[in-house]
Chain A
């Protein structure tokens, strides 16, 4: 039986953040109810496909999934369980995550999450500085985040992620360090630390795109140093970096996301959700992109290299029947010479410098075959 990761998309939020380019928008109660109805129908429509798969992780993302009522979430999970075969992980339940934002969570909702099997929470904090939160267009303060976090712990959640963000307007190295320390002090099992990306089509692009910088977004060099700081500071608190932007205490790496980088098959359900099934990648109801062997190999490399452990040569051979050196030897050697890649045992991985300019390294693996 093949392994499958399930992603459920909830495209609603209270108010769109200024930097957000995800498929998400505020909506009325009625719209949300109709969406949940449709979603459940869609989940059930996969009965046939589900027969060949065993679900290994579930991730409910958004938007702000915690905006839904407890009852609605319960119905979604009922549909999942009645349609898919759910596996186990180390003899226990599989990793089941829901994203939430401060200010949308109640005790009642958290109790319901526990009851339906959700065992991991991902909370969007972004910054511990209220001024910075405001600049991002977030709806909450740091204090409101704390309330939600403690509430989650009280509800018994033992696996919590906190999202943080660097290179945001008004931020300094010092204020970022404070955010890191404050978050780490709380002792979440996992921290994601992204640097802000200015995406086209967002209000931030209007404000900061194409070199505009009215609110002092940290410069490239400061941003790079913030990446360094993240690694150093979080290490002090016992977090190790296992991917470019992801840190965890031992054993709490996000299994769902690791799946993306290891090319596990995934089924995304909900508006705009992406899937990878049988080497076809598609957005719900869209035309699939069929991945050739060359595409698959290139993806294996550029996704796998996001992980700090790098890519396994042995697994490459198992998957594609060719030696990695035979296909990518030239690029790997070139990047090694430039000090951007290194080999450790069976693995090829990014060096510190390679991480800083990983796009340059990864683009080397595209179109080389």
Chain B
């Protein structure tokens, strides 16, 4: 360092201006393009029912609800380290709360959806402190036990069909909020209009959940969560309330999962404990989507759900073989491509559509 630059106060300011300012950045140029493309895609999906066939709408309900569940599981297990194998509990609770609201309390189905989410969140709040006593991998089986217990409890409610389940008749759903408007707007029969309404609800949930998770992960709370997962003791030492942030995340994820369950079963209009609490349908598929797409990315579940959709249409006719293929694929991906399809592509071509990583860059 030269003597002059220290001695002269006048040049000091000059010097400070030359020093590059380091900044933590998250966004990329590509991510701004992706944001615009994302908005366009959502708008296209929103007006799609005007031209799409009923089959496509039903397929897209599957895609959107599975995407939402996958995003939720990804934030819980991937970022939060709470590897739950019991998320079917909250799908089932949401679904049963919806049916109870419609059948027993005479609520409007659309109004019952957030209440179903609240019910799932309430049960999660009660179960959380118990299950969090189980460390890491034991939490996984513990959450599964809780889901099984809830399935058996739901099967005890004879007024909701007991162990065999029940259906809601179309007439009970015909007065549903918004249904008449959709019928008039698109000129559809009640059953098709209900699919469209459920589709919009699923789209709304998928967008809100994805944006919510994206904002959460990019916030300081997201950093705190990742810190609690990687090293709880170190995180606590810098002031992160690790237990609290996990508990709040667990409840929030249950709330959204419960609403997804309600939306799914509003479309099905038929419920049974075995289906609503199915570990294959609501957890194995979801885990498959996240693993194959890429854990700890926002884009991963999107890629994963499209791959699952393709595999379902192509392989589902083979029954059990299809699940053998899915499971084998998930194991191979975990062994040889642990970041998933999207993770590997992003690393190779430096793609960041919804960037969640932070890095230091010079602002000038």
Are A and B co-members of a single complex? no
B interface with A by C-beta (< 8 Å): none
